[in-house]
Structure 1
């Protein structure tokens, strides 16, 4: 017997953007399903162990909150589970970030999704889409029991890779004008670290250079971030990196294997040459490589570098961005930054979330419609919470009322505590 399910809104991908989209849609009154191929939500935050939220606050001194709404709900849920699971810190680059424990984030997202009434389907892959008259009508899915379909009125693509748009045959964009994307990184965690020692990028660079001189192989970046939480001897290390060329299985396999080799070399290098790491122990790799950039949608509007750098405001804004362009174009070097006015933010318009050629499909997270430099500012996870929340409410309003009325969308977002 063929399994078929019907919803108002279907969200694919349960990362920060997808989780926010599903909660936002459900709180707006839509019958909502969230589909995720992993066994837990969180995306890069949990499945790649990134362990730091950038973008909840504006860059530089005198930080101003740019993101609230569903993102704030999840932070509060984490604090209720364990106050030590999140720390508000000033990073090595001088920005206010939130370091967190990925395992508590999984549980906090579970709880918030359940409270909102979202139907979650984990261990589920989207293998195809059905289209009719320029609209998406259903997702073809598979689990360990076989295949099934999910019909919905509207859809949110929060896969990170614009997978729904790609399957629908909509135009997508890979990287910048030169066709390259930002570096991918496989974070890993070490326990038994003396976090009172200097773990700055400069200290890391000194240790890695010394390790290279001693002949330790498979070391890419010489300088990178080590993220720590107050009261914990466990840190997350963001160093092993590669440059993605595609998302096919051969390329994905090669990247995972290469970065795991790098992890073991970095563990050896840090234990030997970075004070405070002498008694550290490898506790977690990944478990999956983390992407900063792959495919993104072609939207009805394109967020531009000028919009980001001028901190442009607009009447059809559905989310705020507070970050600055952070560009990782090399597997061997740290990011380059384009500075912005401290304490400032910009609006992300509805059109940047709307797929140009599929009228009931919305993008969220690191795959919204933006040029290369603007993308480098909106891809961070704090902003992904915001664009996901916006996309979910947009999808709900269209599903329930027949059109994406910007006035009603903004009213609902404000009602749910979003900053717009």
Structure 2
């Protein structure tokens, strides 16, 4: 094991929240190490092919997330791959992504800001002192183990890897109460005029079940044609899995891949324009919606979301995505925000209740079940990550939990708070 370096801020996880945290902290003057276990940045967008940025807009198409997240959108626009889309049946408005463009945009962003990035690096342990602070983390990389010390830490790992290692307070729902996970499938060979509609899919899945005796849990879902490649992205394959149990996770990911081939068979036989379709890729990892949650100083609630609650003195970001609760395989429950608008995310929802120098962002944001089904999306992850990074940088500079200063710095960096 090598004795590593010291940083003002260490960020664990390189998805939307982690990249925003690292860039936000750097722009606030901190030295930053960003630790990512995959060989690329992007989180679920790249490691699970969830090639949709949800949550940048409310249902009036008003942009509610800016700052670092908006810079990512601008970089996509400069590469001429930016495309917005809406679904009439939900009213949701989102941004479609290209896989390889997304990877390089993240690379360029963190490099331009001077973030010290380590890919292929997995958090393995953390040390907590007697004053309730994290003092160092252990990271296992390509060359072995390394210890890193820092003044402040941000967990943007999605599964709360740092929260758990540091012994910080978390909430974990029973497996059957967690939102389902979805294995994203990309299909090629789908004709330009192919049926991508909900009714056609329902008919194809029903015909496949009659023919084979094998039912499929979801008979329709998000299916869109991607920019650049023209591949068809489908979010159909659902599993009720435990992302924190390696044996169960392995079993269920294998089950999900079997489902993907059954959908391909059903569509090739029973859906117009799919006769020559083939499976380009699944995942690679199943898209995990829920595992651990931060126990924060505050918590978003169902009423906060549905009533579009505004907190002008406490807000560090906004979210305009409705409650989208994947209750069970094949079952999704939507509930709109009042007037199809947006609500404020309070600082306390990203701040650990029991670990003074630790923040958590993205789908770790402290929220009850219904509020989580809204705030978990990537647009909101950019907002919460950006705020967590700025707060961590200010903590390292000797200004702990100065909310007015955090909000002022976020505004200086172009965020919406």
Structure 1-normalised TM-score?
0.95
* Secondary structure, counterpart of 1:45 in structure 2: helix
1:305 is matched with 302
Match of 2:71 among 70, 73, 80: 73
* Secondary structure, counterpart of 1:167 in structure 2: helix
Tell me, yes or no, if structure 1 residue 128 matches structure 2 residue 125: yes
- Give the Cα separation in 1 of the matches to 2:227 and 2:121: 36
* Secondary structure, counterpart of 1:10 in structure 2: strand
2:162 is matched with 164
* Secondary structure, counterpart of 2:392 in structure 1: helix
Q: Deviations over 1:97-138 (max 9, x none)?
A: 111112110110000011111111000010000111200011
Match of 2:371 among 361, 371, 374: 374
1:320 is matched with 318
Conservation of the 8 A alpha-carbon contact between 1:318 and 1:349? yes
Match of 1:115 among 112, 116, 119: 112
Q: How does 1:90-109 map to 2 (within 5 A)?
A: 90-92=86-88, 93-109=90-106
User: Structure 1 residues 283, 151: closer, same or farther in 2, change over 3 A?
Assistant: same
- Give the Cα separation in 1 of the matches to 2:287 and 2:377: 12
Q: Comparing 355-364 with 238-247, which one deviates more in the overlay?
A: 238-247
2:279 is matched with 282
1:145 is matched with 143
Conservation of the 8 A alpha-carbon contact between 2:242 and 2:249? no
- Give the Cα separation in 2 of the matches to 1:239 and 1:27: 39
2:385 is matched with 388
- Give the Cα separation in 1 of the matches to 2:301 and 2:176: 18
Q: CA deviation at 1:232?
A: 4.8
Conservation of the 8 A alpha-carbon contact between 2:125 and 2:138? yes
- Give the Cα separation in 1 of the matches to 2:400 and 2:214: 57
Q: CA deviation at 1:278?
A: 1.4
User: Structure 1 residues 77, 158: closer, same or farther in 2, change over 3 A?
Assistant: same
State the aligned residue count. 414
Conservation of the 8 A alpha-carbon contact between 1:220 and 1:262? no
Tell me, yes or no, if structure 1 residue 14 matches structure 2 residue 10: no
2:38 is matched with 38
* Secondary structure, counterpart of 1:307 in structure 2: helix
Match of 1:186 among 180, 183, 187: 183
1:397 is matched with 394
- Give the Cα separation in 1 of the matches to 2:86 and 2:211: 33
1:252 is matched with 249
Q: Deviations over 1:340-377 (max 9, x none)?
A: 23451111111000011111000100111111111111
Conservation of the 8 A alpha-carbon contact between 1:205 and 1:224? no
Q: CA deviation at 1:265?
A: 1.1
Structure 2-normalised TM-score?
0.96
Q: Comparing 135-144 with 207-216, which one deviates more in the overlay?
A: 207-216
Q: CA deviation at 1:218?
A: 6.8
1:269 is matched with 266
- Give the Cα separation in 2 of the matches to 1:358 and 1:231: 44
Q: Which segments of structure 1 move beyond 6 Å, counting only runs of 4 or more?
A: none
Match of 1:340 among 323, 328, 337: 337
- Give the Cα separation in 2 of the matches to 1:386 and 1:338: 22
* Secondary structure, counterpart of 2:71 in structure 1: helix
User: Structure 1 residues 317, 286: closer, same or farther in 2, change over 3 A?
Assistant: same
- Give the Cα separation in 2 of the matches to 1:158 and 1:165: 10
Q: Comparing 202-211 with 408-417, which one deviates more in the overlay?
A: 202-211
* Secondary structure, counterpart of 1:73 in structure 2: helix
Q: CA deviation at 1:216?
A: 6.4
Please tell me the root mean square deviation across aligned C-alpha atoms, in Å: 1.6
- Give the Cα separation in 2 of the matches to 1:416 and 1:167: 31
- Give the Cα separation in 1 of the matches to 2:223 and 2:383: 26
* Secondary structure, counterpart of 1:287 in structure 2: coil
Q: CA deviation at 1:213?
A: 1.1
Show structure 2 runs of 5+ residues with no match.
none
Q: CA deviation at 1:230?
A: 5.2
* Secondary structure, counterpart of 1:220 in structure 2: coil
Conservation of the 8 A alpha-carbon contact between 1:192 and 1:233? no
